[in-house]
Structure 1
Amino acid sequence: MRLLLTGILHLLAGIGILTAQNIVKPDEPMSPLQTKYAGKIVFLNAQYPIEQLTEDKFLTAFEFKEGSTLDARLFLKNSLTNYLHELNSSLTAEQLLKNGNFQFTFYVDGKSIYTENLNTGAGTSKGKNQWITLRIPLISPTNEDSWGRYLWSRFYYANGGEDAVFGGKHLLKIEIRPYIKTDSGIKTGTIIAEGQIHFEQPAIQLTEKQIAIQPIETGSGWSISNDGFDKRLIKELNTRILQKRFKEITSVAVIKNGKLLLEEYFNGTNRKSLHDTRSVGKSFASTMTGIAIQEGYLKNENQSLSQFYNLKDYSNYTASKDSIKIKDLLTMSSSFEGSDQDWNSPGNEENMYPTDNWVKFALDLPIDKNKKNAKQWDYFTAGVVVIGDILNQKVPQGLESYADKKLFKPLEITHYQWQYTPQKVANTAGGLGLETLGLAKYGQLYQNKGKWKGKQLLSSSWVKKTFTNYFPEDQNLSGYGYLFWREKFEIEGKSYEAYLCSGNGGNKVYIFQNLPLVIVLTSTAYNQPYAHKQASQIVTNYLLPAVLNSKTH
């Protein structure tokens, strides 16, 4: 009898129902299917409740096309918290969930493509403590808001998954392990679930005419460059864009030595299209600040906010607010408790937009006591709105008129469109609509160190200040100047530095520092995890090599 009981206990422990090591009590299996497939991932083409799930619904093959659904159902022998407890038995359940989660590894045809330690905030505490089955929506035609969909997007669109499975039949495999952060790094456990499926994404067939380099039409206002470039690479780029392997790209333009080298449009756009480049518009606030300073409407960027506002009239006043400078807003390093990177921040831009006064929203914010004397970079859109408001106060006839007179008309940019704050002030937070070649003119102004057609529109000293990295010790930031980003590209062992305007969706204006080159990319991949990464890939793998290999025609 004792032997029989011992055997039963071992059996129960083996399927995760009973173990002396558990720190929390997991759910019990609701069906024989859960027990049979414990430790497995199965794939489905629809969302099925667990009680309706049968083996005949499991997929062995999947074709990825428009409107497809791919769900993964994860069956576990134990709950995640208990697996984490096996990695560190000294922590409480709450501490385990603060420091660990699932690790996903994606393989294609036996090759590891992408591994992600899922953010510790993904999933609920209840689910991690109790659940032994999870539904993970990977591909959803309704863009279901789920960490599973974003996980898939990072694998597929941003980290090589699409290239690995493109244009044929492949074996996709997923392995899941528990991981936990420790003082010495990441510790992972053994595989707790795995599954595989035959995956196919047919290639979109294109003709030579479709992928051909688009001829540059006359009337652009630019001289056309006669320099050579690697046309093979540009055709490959066009192919990827048209096959939607680079997604929602609307235009590409390259200016070399002040002349138009390449001009391409996609997805229904043309030379006259206005592009909503989102936070690219923030850089224009920096430009107008520089012009206002050189014309004497502002003294300098070291003026404090207290010289423009009675800060005591706003909420959460402390004396430290008086020392916040325009420069702190230009470099995204003010001490306001505002962070667009933190959804819980009171100054997150999404909290600003519904209010009826965005400047008041910003100036009402408390000081963040954890920020180090305005030395810590933290992306803060509301601060740029304040810059726009200061300019609107100080320049003749307001910011919109002043920008038209001092920037857009001299650059011969006549077709553009501002968005506005609730106070009807030109919105420096972003959303300024411009044509591709208008963006190229703006980039070339900086490439020319502030000159346009022989006239100094913007002082070269301001351009130098703008193109200075004020955060060289920040390991998480490639660099940031006066509302311009810094990025480096590695091509065949050489490094090429650029400062750039950057906006949601992957919109970019790159101004290279050691090359006579301006590159414009516009895209509508708003809020997509691949947007900025694919822009960098386009420059690194196609545009820069094509231009550098100028002997190839």
Structure 2
Amino acid sequence: MKNIFLLILINLANFIASAQIPDLYKTDGIVGELHRSNIGRVTFMNENIPLNEYQSSDFLKSFELTHNSDLNIRVFMDNSVANYLHRLAPHLSAEELLKAGNLQFTFYVDNKFIYQENIDQGCNFGSGGSKNTSTIFRVPLTSSKGEDWWAMYMWERFKLNGGEKALTDGNHQLKIEIRPYIKIDETIKVGSLIADGQIKLIIKTPKLTAEDIRIQPIQPNSGWVISNFQFDKKKIEMLNAAIASYSLKDITSVVVIHDGKLMLEEYFNGAKRSTLHDTRSAGKSFTSTLMGIAIKDGYIKNEYQTLNTFYNLKQFANYEAKKDSVRIKDLLSMSSAFNGSDANSDSPGNEENMYPTNNWVKFTLDLPMDKAKTNGGKWDYFTAGVVVLGDLLNKNIPEGLEKYADEKLFKPLNITNYQWQYTPQKVVNTAGSLQMTSLDYAKYAQLYKNNGVWNGKQIIPSEWVQKTLTHQIQIQERDNQFYGYLFWNKSLLFNGVNHEIYYCAGNGGNEFLIFKDLPLVIIITSKAFNKPYGHPQADKIIVDYLLPAILN
């Protein structure tokens, strides 16, 4: 009893202390009667109802959740996020507060704790919403409108971390709690409850038809010899059912080449054979291919040439000798010493800082060098470096890279329907988003499986294929995963055997996979852009469905 009384006193003291701390910012205050009567509440709504039209009758008590739902929350607070953080750490400046903290979301299903996330300090609350002054905010948890919000990725992480398993068919009570948090010297301090709310979610597994599940027959004029390999059709029907029921999300195609012949060609979610898929960074691998061909043709001496061979780097910002010594190989293997990392949003060379500029090559060559890196020393994903590779190829090939790629690579493979993106200088964007059909991506991957040969002709030098499909460098923080020349490497465990794969990979779960020990090439295209399930579900397709269908 004494301990309980002591705990009450401590909490009361903390509450009084925080209440005595003056606000850092003057907020928007209580905005209308709806706000006043719902302070501290997380409300749920279908789609984004403007605040000036929002009424208590719009508050959802129940909602049928589907893969294309528009479930939003609107949160009514009695203060701003910055002021809540100020109460937790009154000694920090306004700028320091917003760099150190934000909101913590906790998810419960049927009164059982499922998931908790301290959202990134950079997460904001939309146009007009300010963490300094706003006392109301709206975010979508799910959206069919093409919105791109941190809250939607948080919702996907909730589902991946237990939410999906908890939300089985039937009715479930979802509860969300929101608190402020601040992180100082690796210690996280969490404040009192700001707002909470509940909703009944109705979950219904979609009813599938025989058409949804059946294996799609390969239509004529594929450009491939059709395989007569006898695979387990039930496994592929299970795969189709998982995609149709949205257990596997946003998949647009699965193509399997077995022993050089077309075994499986499946399209989903509105895609078809003629669809040009945006496979994002999978297009980087083509840059490596064109580099190898250009070296064979003598336009580039070799991959050990340094940047100062191609550019007067003293004309760019942050010059130092270390920049001169960056090799083509370092950019091909994502191991240059540029201060650029796509994994770090605060990195000067992060790709998101490059795209708004009017000259991506200048952006890259202006970057400072990272004092902690050596050229060729450590893997760090760096999109901007691949743009430079495209630029130096374009400058050193007499008629330019676009025509060269068509003549030397695409025409020999009979690839005629494709679409490049371009840099602001109208040079083909070698960093990604080279759009092709799934069958044409399969030709490209099979070309590597063939050691660079297509229809008896050596398209890529075999020596370059071997260098590309080699463990050039270890990928940081990934066990037994490596990087070649703009190709990834991993192994997938199936029936106790590790199958080594080299593959092209792009945002959203797009992968072109070349098996080292099996006569297999697999193409998976997907639109799960920026979703945490993109690449994990590509692995699931292979290990749970395709390999069992082929090897069992």
* TM-score under structure 1 length normalisation: 0.80
How big is each residue's C-alpha offset from its partner over 1:384-403, in whole Å with a ceiling of 9 and x where there is no partner? 12212222333453323333
Q: Distance in 2 between matches of 1:154 and 1:401?
A: 43
Give the SS at the match of 2:73.
strand
Give the SS at the match of 1:237.
helix
Shift, 1:442, TM fit: 1.1
Q: Is 1:155 the counterpart of 2:153 in the alignment?
A: no
Change beyond 3 A, Cα 1:150–1:369: same
Shift, 1:216, TM fit: 1.5
Q: Is 1:489 the counterpart of 2:492 in the alignment?
A: yes
| Contact 2:82/2:97 (<8 A) preserved | no
| Contact 1:162/1:245 (<8 A) preserved | no
Change beyond 3 A, Cα 1:246–1:15: farther
| Contact 2:104/2:116 (<8 A) preserved | yes
Q: Distance in 1 between matches of 2:417 and 2:332?
A: 27
Aligned residue runs from structure 1 range 106-185, under 5 A: 106-109=107-110, 113-123=114-124, 135-140=138-143, 142=145, 146-156=149-159, 159=161, 161-162=163-164, 164-165=166-167, 167-176=169-178
Shift, 1:484, TM fit: 1.3
Shift, 1:264, TM fit: 0.5
Look up the match of 2:546. Answer: 543
Q: Distance in 2 between matches of 1:15 and 1:67?
A: 44
How big is each residue's C-alpha offset from its partner over 1:452-481, in whole Å with a ceiling of 9 and x where there is no partner? 344443334323322334442611684322
Change beyond 3 A, Cα 1:12–1:183: closer
How big is each residue's C-alpha offset from its partner over 1:254-303, in whole Å with a ceiling of 9 and x where there is no partner? 11222222111123332233223222221011011112223433221110
Aligned residue runs from structure 1 range 246-265, under 5 A: 246-265=248-267
Shift, 1:440, TM fit: 0.8
Q: Is 1:507 the counterpart of 2:505 in the alignment?
A: no
Look up the match of 2:16. Answer: 18
Percent identical pairs in the alignment equals 52
Q: Distance in 1 between matches of 2:394 and 2:34?
A: 66
Change beyond 3 A, Cα 1:95–1:469: farther
Unpaired runs of 5+ residues, structure 2, are 1-7
Match of 1:234 among 212, 233, 236: 236
Q: Report the aligned-residue RMSD.
A: 4.2
Shift, 1:247, TM fit: 3.6
Q: Is 1:534 the counterpart of 2:537 in the alignment?
A: yes
How big is each residue's C-alpha offset from its partner over 1:22-52, in whole Å with a ceiling of 9 and x where there is no partner? 7664999959999998876443447689999
Look up the match of 1:317. Answer: 319
Q: Distance in 2 between matches of 1:372 and 1:166?
A: 50
How big is each residue's C-alpha offset from its partner over 1:421-462, in whole Å with a ceiling of 9 and x where there is no partner? 344433312222222111111111222333334444333432
Amino acid at match of 1:538: I
Give the SS at the match of 1:19.
helix
Q: Distance in 1 between matches of 2:455 and 2:148?
A: 50
Look up the match of 1:279. Answer: 281
Change beyond 3 A, Cα 1:53–1:259: closer
Shift, 1:106, TM fit: 3.0
Q: Is 1:329 the counterpart of 2:325 in the alignment?
A: no
Change beyond 3 A, Cα 1:97–1:544: farther
**More displaced stretch, 140-149 vs 227-236:** 140-149
| Contact 1:445/1:452 (<8 A) preserved | yes
How big is each residue's C-alpha offset from its partner over 1:402-432, in whole Å with a ceiling of 9 and x where there is no partner? 3333322333333333333344433312222
Amino acid at match of 1:504: N
Look up the match of 2:294. Answer: 292
Shift, 1:214, TM fit: 0.4
**More displaced stretch, 166-175 vs 68-77:** 68-77
Amino acid at match of 2:70: S
Amino acid at match of 2:417: H
Count of residues paired in the alignment: 537
Q: Distance in 1 between matches of 2:49 and 2:234?
A: 47
Change beyond 3 A, Cα 1:310–1:32: closer
Look up the match of 2:401. Answer: 399
Q: Is 1:197 the counterpart of 2:199 in the alignment?
A: yes
Change beyond 3 A, Cα 1:100–1:79: closer
Q: Distance in 1 between matches of 2:37 and 2:403?
A: 71
Look up the match of 2:105. Answer: 104
Amino acid at match of 2:385: G
Q: Is 1:64 the counterpart of 2:68 in the alignment?
A: no
Q: Distance in 2 between matches of 1:469 and 1:272?
A: 35
Change beyond 3 A, Cα 1:318–1:32: same
| Contact 2:232/2:550 (<8 A) preserved | yes
| Contact 1:467/1:481 (<8 A) preserved | yes
Unpaired runs of 5+ residues, structure 1, are 1-9
* TM-score under structure 2 length normalisation: 0.81
Q: Distance in 2 between matches of 1:230 and 1:64?
A: 33
Change beyond 3 A, Cα 1:547–1:191: farther
Change beyond 3 A, Cα 1:132–1:430: closer
Look up the match of 1:413. Answer: 415
Amino acid at match of 2:123: A
Look up the match of 2:3. Answer: none
Give the SS at the match of 1:461.
helix
Q: Distance in 2 between matches of 1:502 and 1:449?
A: 20
